[in-house]
């Protein structure tokens, strides 16, 4: 086998069949699957058994420990050249593995291969994300290390199901279990520092968002922000002593995370969660590296104060629309 597919699963009976079917339909056949059941209490086991997927090994956690730790445990048994992580609610197009393995085989210096990913949400239009939005693939599929780092500092356009990695990446770094939301962004940054990244603009992965997903739950509780702030400190330590991979890397990362926090505050204002928006704005103002971001944070606080006035309730929609444009 040359590819090991790792699938952390927790109460995923509603989605697992689709994910497993997308593996069985891959045109590239040199793979095996490790599924880590993270203490599921639904029918996940029965769904996995019914799939009849060959070369599948099911491991069980005695209790729920989270997806990052589950994947790290599965990684201990990987002895293939490449690794892909496919979450239970995500799925691939049939040519995904054939495309990314071919790119990696052609470019032994590259640590990752990434495709575009379709982001699917039940109540929003589909969106497409990927590193191709910053690296025009007309220049070739190989995005140099320094360019990939620069593209990943202000935001994370890479979705986990869109990634194939060399196993050596995970031998050097495990997923940071203290950062359940940001550990994949941290991993892609570390990978880009290690070497170049292969990029495809084809939409070959599908990333499912839904109300029961961990990402949605963490965002709703504003815990994503805590993760992002911790990630800054992890990399500040890692890159101390002149080891920043590009000039002002921490400054660019902080600016990008501040923009993300401000954007989340805007969405919370629009959704009527004024208390949650205030928390986000305090975080943003505490780390904002630019005057523009500080001003936006202050304006957001004043906007919330206005929205709390009874006479201003009718203006909530135009105020939030203006805020969205400013952010």
Domains of the chain by residue range: 3-210, 248-326
Q: Which of the pair, 36 or 219, is modelled with greater confidence?
A: 36
**What's the whole-number average pLDDT of the chain?**
91
Parallel/antiparallel/unpaired status of strands 31-37 and 3-9: parallel
Distance CA 225, CA 290 (A): 18
pLDDT computed for residue 273 by the predictor: 87
| Buried/exposed code over 225-239 (b: 16+ C-beta within 10 A; e: otherwise) | bbbbbbbbebbeebb
pLDDT(271) > 70: yes
pLDDT in tens, 158-192: 999 999 999 999 999 999 999 989 999 999 999 99
Q: State if pTM tops 0.75.
A: yes
pLDDT in tens, 106-127: 999 999 999 999 999 888 899 9
Say if residues 238 and 216 touch (Cβ distance below 8 Å): no
CATH superfamily of 3-210: Spore Coat Polysaccharide Biosynthesis Protein SpsA; Chain A (3.90.550.10)
Contacts of 63 (CB under 8 A, 6+ apart): 39
């Amino acid at each position: 086998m040359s590819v090991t597919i790792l699938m952390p699963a927790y109460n995923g009976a509603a989605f697992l069949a689709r994910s497993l079917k997308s593996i069985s339909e891959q045109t590239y056949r040199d793979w095996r699957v490790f599924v880590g059941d993270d203490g599921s209490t639904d029918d996940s086991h029965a769904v996995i058994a019914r799939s009849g997927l060959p070369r599948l090994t099911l491991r069980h956690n005695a209790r729920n420990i989270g997806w990052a730790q589950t994947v790290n445990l599965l990684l201990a048994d990987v002895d293939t050249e490449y690794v892909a992580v496919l979450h239970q609610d995500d799925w691939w197009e049939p040519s995904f593995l054939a495309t990314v393995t071919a790119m990696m085989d052609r470019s032994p210096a590259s640590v990752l291969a990434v495709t575009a990913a379709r982001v699917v949400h039940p109540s929003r239009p589909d969106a497409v994300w990927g590193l191709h939005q910053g690296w025009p693939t007309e220049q070739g599929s190989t995005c140099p290390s320094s360019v990939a780092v620069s593209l990943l500092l202000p935001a994370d356009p890479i979705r986990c199901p869109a990634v194939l990695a060399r196993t050596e990446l995970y031998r050097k770094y495990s997923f940071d279990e203290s950062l359940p939301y940001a550990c994949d962004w941290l991993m892609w940054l570390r990978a880009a520092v290690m070497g170049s990244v292969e990029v495809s603009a084809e939409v070959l992965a599908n990333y499912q968002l839904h109300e029961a997903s961990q990402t949605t739950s963490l965002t709703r509780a504003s815990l994503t922000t805590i993760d992002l702030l911790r990630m800054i400190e992890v990399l500040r330590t890692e890159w101390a002593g002149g080891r920043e991979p590009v000039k002002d890397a921490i400054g660019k990362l902080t600016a990008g995370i501040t923009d993300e926090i401000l954007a989340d505050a805007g969405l919370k204002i629009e959704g009527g969660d004024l208390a949650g928006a205030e928390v986000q704005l305090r975080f943003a103002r505490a780390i904002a590296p630019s005057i523009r971001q500080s001003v936006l944070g202050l304006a957001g606080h004043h906007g919330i104060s206005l929205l709390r006035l009874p006479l201003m309730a009718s203006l909530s929609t135009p105020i939030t629309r203006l805020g969205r444009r400013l952010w």
